[in-house]
Structure 1
Amino acid sequence: MNTMLVTGAAGQLGSAVVARAGELALPVVAAVSSDLDITDERAVERAVGAREPGDVLVNCAAYTAVDAAETDAGRAHAVNALGPGLLARACARAGVRLIHVSTDYVFAGDAHEPYDLDAPTAPRTVYGRTKLDGEIAVHRALPSAHVVRTAWVHSGTGTDFVATMRRLEGTRESVDVVTDQVGSPTYAPDLAAGLVELATTPVDAPILHATNAGVASWFDLARAVFEGIGADPERVHPCTSEQFVRPAPRPAYSVLSPRAWEAAGLTPLRPWREALADALAAG
């Protein structure tokens, strides 16, 4: 393949994509937000216009503060909807292939079986609506672009859920974690490997779902973290979403079907517990 340009390269997922490309000795350009503001049309035109036809842009830039988005809708829309649209238009003009990362939050979160590609979208939060608007903007400008939806991404570092549970294990006697929100914990390096594989594979797939395999509640994940670091998982206590109210409602069910990913011949992501073990070992 030609050069891969990664936007949002300083973030949890973007940095993992850059690292994976490096492991495979693929030519990659890492663009952090200070290098490239995807909401700046001129900056986008310059950055993408400098690429060669056949290059690939992996857009990992996003406004991911789900609760803050409820009162910061303008900025969330700019980063999650306007920016991806600008990238897609620039890619269309430059002949650059685009992979855009989206989210389970485009769905209502009230299903009882894994969401497939044809499931109706019905976001319930500002974050989810802006991400869906981004998907639409991308495909309006560049129908051949790949939108990859994922969920529950963690790296086990920083402030993500896994890292938070690890920190709380050392500072609290017990923690309460919700049991009525279910999804597929996804290790950022595993997702990054999938995105790089997609970038190097000729696939005709406008929308794909990619998460680690298996299903868990946040309570299950928290207990697995405690167990994985040698702590007593019984110190994690169950609670309901009603007992842990957030400004933005969380989906009760976020499981995404991997059917299209596997049908495209892409490598299925491994079970989430295996990935978590690596996250904890690396942390």
Structure 2
Amino acid sequence: MKYLITGANGQVGSQLVAQLQGKAKILATTSQTLDITNKHAVWQTVRDFRPNIIINAAAYTAVDKAESESDLAFAINELGAKHLAQAANEIRAAILHISTDYVFDGKGETPYRETDPVAPQNVYGKSKLAGEIAVQAACPRHIILRTAWVFNEHGNNFVKTMLRLGASRDSLGVVADQFGAPTYAGDIAAALIHIAEKIISKQSNQFGVYHFSGSPYVSWHDFASEIFAQAHAQNVLAQIPVLNAITTADYPTPASRPANSRLDCGKIQANFGIETSDWRKALLDLKDYV
């Protein structure tokens, strides 16, 4: 089986490469080796390699910067996704595309289902929604996997930021009125590979939009508290800094953040047998994060 993976040096992409190594033929690309905004480059690569599955883990993810770089965000998140989906459709491959909780407005009181109305509140979310629409239109054999609060041993993420700040500050404030579910990138990769294998073996043709995130739901403040507790217990931090709960209004950012990022993951469990991941287990070896 052959996989084309974009964004192979990102949080999810690097995990996909690691987990597929030795199990399948992989063409792992980065923005340096494949510019997905270049239609000719994408189509040439796909025609030459002829993958069974394309996993698009490439994305513009600088949420605040996107407010001033909307053209670039849309070029990568919409146009790039469209090129990959069109090329997949031409060779009868399936495309698995990663999206985000930011397609919702975050004003709901319950976890979002796949069928709930979308209403992104910032440029990043709008560009990712545009990418979803482009993929759906270009390739019927698609899986769109929305996830949230991704973290990993590598790359920029909340866990690594907290460990860095915790080592240099006696106290810090963390937002306590935004709720969601941290999601370990390795578990996202495993879910995507599981779905891909079902598609390749023709055990499933249940294409469409799915939600996958970790559990349990927490606030950013709760998440930080658990990170520090684990870091101290594992001797990664000598002492736990004082953690102050602040509001979204106390920490203004160029892009608005959803207050509710909780995703309902019942559909992926029902259709593919994939359980939500316990993000706490991914914090049990924090020395790899520093």
TM over 0.5: yes
- 1:142-157 correspondence to structure 2 within 5 Å: 142-157=139-154
Indicate if the aligned counterparts of 1:113 and 1:255 stay in contact, CA closer than 8 A.
Answer: yes
Paired positions, count: 279
Amino acid at match of 2:75: A
Secondary structure of the residue that 1:34 maps to in structure 2? coil
- 1:110-259 correspondence to structure 2 within 5 Å: 110-202=107-199, 203=204, 204-230=206-232, 233=240, 235-259=242-266
Query: What's the C-alpha RMSD, in Å, of the aligned pairs?
Result: 1.4
- 1:67-146 correspondence to structure 2 within 5 Å: 67-146=64-143
Q: Deviations over 1:126-168 (max 9, x none)?
A: 0000000000000101122110000000114443110010011
The whole-number CA distance in structure 2 between the counterparts of 1:266 and 1:56 is 20
The whole-number CA distance in structure 2 between the counterparts of 1:89 and 1:151 is 26
**Structure 2 residues without counterparts, runs of 5 or longer:** none
What TM-score, normalized by structure 2, do the two folds share?
A: 0.93
Amino acid at match of 2:270: A
Counterpart in 1 of 2:269?
262
The whole-number CA distance in structure 1 between the counterparts of 2:103 and 2:14 is 24
What TM-score, normalized by structure 1, do the two folds share?
A: 0.95
The whole-number CA distance in structure 1 between the counterparts of 2:136 and 2:29 is 22
The structural deviation recorded for 1:281 is 4.6
Counterpart in 1 of 2:288?
282
Amino acid at match of 2:175: V
The whole-number CA distance in structure 2 between the counterparts of 1:76 and 1:183 is 24
The whole-number CA distance in structure 2 between the counterparts of 1:268 and 1:180 is 26
* Identity percentage of aligned residues: 40
Structure 1 residue ranges, 4+ long, deviating more than 6 angstroms after superposition: none
Counterpart in 2 of 1:18?
17
Indicate if the aligned counterparts of 2:178 and 2:260 stay in contact, CA closer than 8 A.
Answer: yes
Counterpart in 1 of 2:6?
7
Indicate if the aligned counterparts of 1:5 and 1:29 stay in contact, CA closer than 8 A.
Answer: yes
Secondary structure of the residue that 1:264 maps to in structure 2? helix
Indicate if the aligned counterparts of 2:170 and 2:241 stay in contact, CA closer than 8 A.
Answer: no
Counterpart in 1 of 2:32?
34
The structural deviation recorded for 1:114 is 0.8
**Structure 1 residues without counterparts, runs of 5 or longer:** none
